[in-house]
Structure 1
Amino acid sequence: MSQPRLLDRRLLLGAGAAAAGLWMTACTDGRLPEYSLGAGEPGGFFNEFTALLANTVDTADADFRLIPRPSAGTAENLELLRNGAVDLALALGDAAVAAPGGLQSIGRLYQNYFQLVVPAESSIHGMSELKGKAVSLGPDNSGTQFTGLRILEASGLTTSDIIMHPVALTDVTAAMARGEIQAAMFAGGIPVLAVDPQASPQGSSAIRLIDLSAEQRVLSERFGGVYAAADIPAGIYGSSAGVGTIGVASLLLARPDVPASVVGRIVEILVTRAADLIPAGALGAQYLDARSLISTSGIPLHPGAAAAYRRLHG
């Protein structure tokens, strides 16, 4: 990942003054100030959640707007934040903790379930059987791929043992049906509608989940509680039995220079409008749990968020 350019102090001050001037202009001509929000790929939870959050901010009569910016996901969002290309963004907790880079958190949103699927009729029943197979661990420059590579290593495999073949989330089942890949990993709630044959039967093929319990135990030993044990119940994607998997928190992050008033208002919306922020079909537990919003995997809270939580919960 490239490092942000070091800016001449005079240029930085000039840019800050220009930004402040634009903000004042927006306020005086009736337009609300806008803050960009790093999202995710089409069909994914990040993309759905940021759209819901932006709409809820609008309907909550906040004195600002959030503008979602599509991205490949966590890794790109972290880069965009560090380079100042976005003001806020979603990211998986493990990747954020690995390289916090001075970022601050607004809150822990929900638990992502990592899901490894194969065609229903596949002979693959464990990670070790992926050797020599074409596998998607998520799009390049995504948080799914970051974690997927760690899961691969935890299983005893390396990238040289598989054929890396990244595909978009919306193309997973079609790519399997075409024989391009024999397995795919993705993350989100349960189910992820973009790959659920029951939700989109046209052009979809039956899929089966692979248990990741053993890999979760290895990752937990190596990296701690950022990788939680989680269960996917029977019935998801038409499965007849539940499987164990890996849970990773999703964090809403902000640059330190985002105003405390903006961050505080977002926290209020997360707490009071949680029901409006759940993507369709989400069955995942711990979604916008008020008790866990401040459990940000060691990423410090933005001062505006900390103050808001104190106001709301004492």
Structure 2
Amino acid sequence: MIGRRGFLRGAGALTAGAVLSGTLGGCASDETTVRMAAGESGGFYYAFAQLLSRTAAGSGVRIEVVSTAGSVDNLGLLARGGAEVGLVLADSVADSADPPPAIGRVYENYLQVAVATDGPIRSAGDLRGARINVGATGSGAAHTGEKLLSAAGLSPAEVTATHLPLAEAVTALRQGRIDALLWAGGVPTPALADPGVRVLDLGSLTEPMRERFGYLYDPVLIPAGTYPGSPAVHTIGVANLLVAAPALADSTARALTEALLAHADSLVPAEAAGTQFLDARSLIGTGTVPLHPGAAAAYRRHHG
């Protein structure tokens, strides 16, 4: 907190007056289009991006939601100029060669390993020799999944990995073509709310993940009944960040930040079980990822 406050004081020369009332392009009638790299349809990235797009409508910023494979894909789009902002897992940003600046920390993604309800896999240790879908190519799940398997003591040679999008992976699991799938998303994820699907308890892997790969991995609980007939399940949480291309105008970054601050309560997808967060107080907690100067100005205006 001290370091971040120091950063914000250093941003004091920035003008903090541009808000959602429409000063993005110099006059109230101007509208700036921002492409937001989201995620797969049916996931929380995409649902959150749609909510933010509707919230910002008419404010002077128009958000165009772009469907993607997920975090790694989104970072690539930002680097190539294919999007101005994007949603990413914190560890995907931390592991990137040139991390983009952040607008804010929006909510928590839960690592979820789903298996057949009547199948033999009961714990992470039972995944040895399994056919596992570790997330679509370019997703944060695929990036984090490699670490998760390592923390479970599994080498790449000990599993058969596939990279299907979520909807296809769930179908493959139901049909017995794979034994497990890894998903990084909110809870409940509608595609996993199936009586034939069960989510594994990964609580024993939290400390190995933190010891090997750092503090970004949080112990979290999926409450009983989140999925049909499910008990309480411990798993691993990873924060989501809304990040921006460094070239994004300060006024646009401020406007997006103001939208998050003003409408935090209405920007959690309705199907959430209350285990995610989007809180005006925690938005600033982007860890080692620096804030975009426009976002820093907005937070300084609200928090000093």
Regarding TM over 0.5, the answer is yes
Structure 1 residues 102 and 161: alpha-carbon distance in aligned structure 2, compared to 1, 3 A threshold: closer
Tell me, yes or no, if the aligned pair for 2:103 and 2:244 is still in contact at 8 Å: yes
**Which secondary structure state, in structure 1, belongs to the residue aligned with residue 199 of structure 2?**
strand
CA–CA separation in structure 2 for the residues paired with 1:102 and 1:240: 38
Aligned residue for 1:263? 253
Q: Name whichever of 245-254 and 40-49 sits farther off.
A: 40-49
RMSD: 1.7
Partner of 2:5: none
Q: Residue in 1 aligned with 2:242?
A: 252
Which of the residues 145, 153, 165 maps onto 2:150? Answer: 153
Task: Please state how far the C-alpha of 1:284 moved relative to its aligned partner.
Answer: 4.2
Q: Would the aligned equivalents of 1:47 and 1:70 in 2 still touch at CA under 8 Å?
A: yes
Confirm or deny that 1:169 pairs with 2:166.
yes
Give unmatched runs, 5+ long, in structure 2: 1-24
- Aligned-pair CA distance for 1:267: 1.0
The aligned counterpart of 2:92 is 95
Deviation at 1:101, TM superposition (A): 0.7
TM-superposed CA distance for 1:287, in Å, is 1.3
* 2:278 matched residue in structure 1: 288
Aligned to 2:181: 184
Q: Residues 128-143 of structure 1 correspond to what in structure 2 (within 5 A)?
A: 128-143=125-140
Partner of 1:14: none
What TM-score, normalized to structure 1? Answer: 0.84
Whose helix fraction is larger, Structure 1's or Structure 2's? 1
Q: What amino acid maps onto 2:115 in structure 1?
A: V
| 1:71 corresponds to which of 68, 71, 90 | 68
Aligned: 1:108 with 2:105: yes
Cα distance, 1:224 vs structure 2: 2.4
The 8 Å contact of residues 42 and 169 in structure 1, kept in 2 or not, is answered as: no
- Contact in 2 for aligned 1:110/1:249 (Cα 8 Å): yes
Per-residue CA shift, 1:59-99, capped at 9, x if unaligned?
A: xx322211111111100100111122211100000010111
C-alpha distance 230-102 of structure 1, shift in aligned 2 (>3 A)? closer
> 1:38 is matched by which residue type in structure 2?
A
Structure 1 unpaired stretches of 5+:
1-25, 198-204
Which residue pairs with 2:123 in the alignment?
126
Q: Is the 8 A contact 1:271 1:288 kept in 2?
A: no
Q: Could you tell me whether the CA contact under 8 Å between 1:100 and 1:299 is conserved in 2? A: no
User: What amino acid maps onto 2:155 in structure 1?
Assistant: T
Q: Which moved further from structure 2: 88-97 or 181-190? A: 181-190
| Cα separation, 2, equivalents of 1:313 and 1:86 | 29
The aligned residue for residue 9 of structure 1 is none
User: Given residue 154 of structure 2, which amino acid in structure 1 is its aligned partner?
Assistant: L
Distance 1:286 1:40 in 2: 17
Cα pair 1:209 1:239 within 8 Å, conserved: no
1:89 and 1:100, CA in 2 relative to 1: closer, same or farther beyond 3 A?
farther
Tell me the residue number matched to 1:208: 198
Q: Number of residues paired by the alignment?
A: 279
Partner of 2:78: 81
Per-residue Cα deviation, 1:40-63 (whole angstroms, up to 9, x for no partner) = 1111111111111111110xx322
Identical columns (%): 38
* Letter in structure 2 aligned against 1:158: S
* 2:47 partner amino acid: E
The 2-side partners of 1:208 and 1:102 are apart by 35
Partner of 1:57: 56
Distance 1:286 1:235, change over 3 A: closer
Deviation, 1:240, is: 4.2
How far apart are the structure 2 equivalents of 1:303 and 1:75?
A: 23
CA distance in 2, matches of 1:285, 1:237: 13
